[in-house]
Structure 1
Amino acid sequence: MGFMLHTSGEHQCIAFNDLVRGEDGVQANQFLVKHGNHSALIDPGGSLLYTPLVLALGRHVRPHQIDLVLCSHQDPDIIGSVDKWLLYTQATVVCSKLWGRFVPHLVPHYMENAGRERYLLVEDEGARIELGSTEIIALPAHFLHSVGNLSFFDPVSRILFSGDICSGLVSSGTPYGFVEDFESYRPCMEGFHRRYMAGNRAVRLWVDMVRELDPQMIVPQHGMPFQGETQRAMLEWLYGLPCGVDLMGPANYRAKVLRPPVPANF
């Protein structure tokens, strides 16, 4: 069941937030932008989510109507299922040019019609990507947290799909809806952003760009979407956040290992 972020005329934006089963993986959102008979998937996820997502999409779109698979970055929870989207649709995979030679490592060598002609590689400054009679705008979001990171803006709905930026780490099964009180929501964002964003300089450049863009809502890949005053409060907090290399010092780079590694407990 999808969450309708926007609908007007022939244009729809739908979020799928509840496809990760229990503790199988980190909660993640997938997005469909549909314009008439043309569609784009944003950050469709890995193999864990491929079958549940296809079933959920069946209410809204047929596989042959998917024109674009838009990838904010290269992580497995973003694009781990790329081989299946290449096999079962005619979609073009859109990603940063930095990942154009890495994403194909997820695709079996024997697959036909999965070569470079199926990829659209975005330059560092971003790109306008045609979707029927409209477009999706790929915006630079580099080092937040990937070195070749993109955000995607839909000019019809004025939704900014921000990828990992603005994400909150919430439990699977948490009801999806707009953040109403930023201060109470902030704890599920803070640790993630301090560790996964490269540094405050990059954050400020991105926030300045977003403020100029003035989106109607910001919708991240993990957690809940933002709009209105809560969105403004979140951007203000993000603008002043020390993170990444800002927090690094000699104590973080010691050759001597002090403790044994901790067994996996997902």
Structure 2
Amino acid sequence: MSNNPYLPFKAKILSVVKQTDIDWTYRLACELKPQWGQFVEVSLPGIGECPISISDFGEGYIEMTIRRVGKVTNVIHLLDEADHLFLRGPYGHGFPVPDLTGKQLVIAAGGTGLAPVKSIINHFYRQPELLSRLDVLAGFKSRNDVLFKEELTSWSKQFNVIITVDKMQGCDSSLPCREGLITQWVPEIPLTNLDDLRVIIVGPPVMMKYTAQEFLKRGITEEHIWVSFERKMCCGIGKCGHCKIDDTYVCLEGPVFTYTRAKSLLD
């Protein structure tokens, strides 16, 4: 790999899994060792580049769940196994997963916000003894928007998993879910010890704001809540300034922040 921070490397696509009509999970061969919650810059020569969260990783591979929403991702969705993407990274600060050992962890994810925390859930799914308890809140607009259905089913056999959809009639009968927004179900989470409780929230800004407020109402302190700001991280190394909020470069100092810091980051 080059010492040039702008120069990407080539990564072969090992598998492609359809999640929804516009979301696909790509497993790529590479030797990156990311932190939980970091992102990479993904590019195609002659097309462009975009920041994508790492949704899972292991020995010799990373996974990214990519939504078809623009110029670059439209072309990525035309690729298949044995094709290649170009990557730079990983970038940013991730979640302090090693510090969560022995704690009760609550993960609240809205929509595609489930992708950046999937690797954390899988980490504790493989080693459940590391936590005193894990609760997962996953909210989607409809049945057609639900990501990682097989994983959600597996996780629910080991942890308390609450899946919500905006309208109950859109819920897949094979996947138990509840109607309403994530914020409505925060009061349903059993809290065993506030001193040992940690919360991770990822999703649209409005969802993160009001979900954090619901946890604060229950007595969780701001420094024990983490959120992820995934916005306009064009260069990934603090040079372009597109992700800057006031004096904070999200790509360098984030995308993960404690709520103590995040509450003052206003666009």
The TM-score, its normalising length taken from structure 2, stands at 0.38
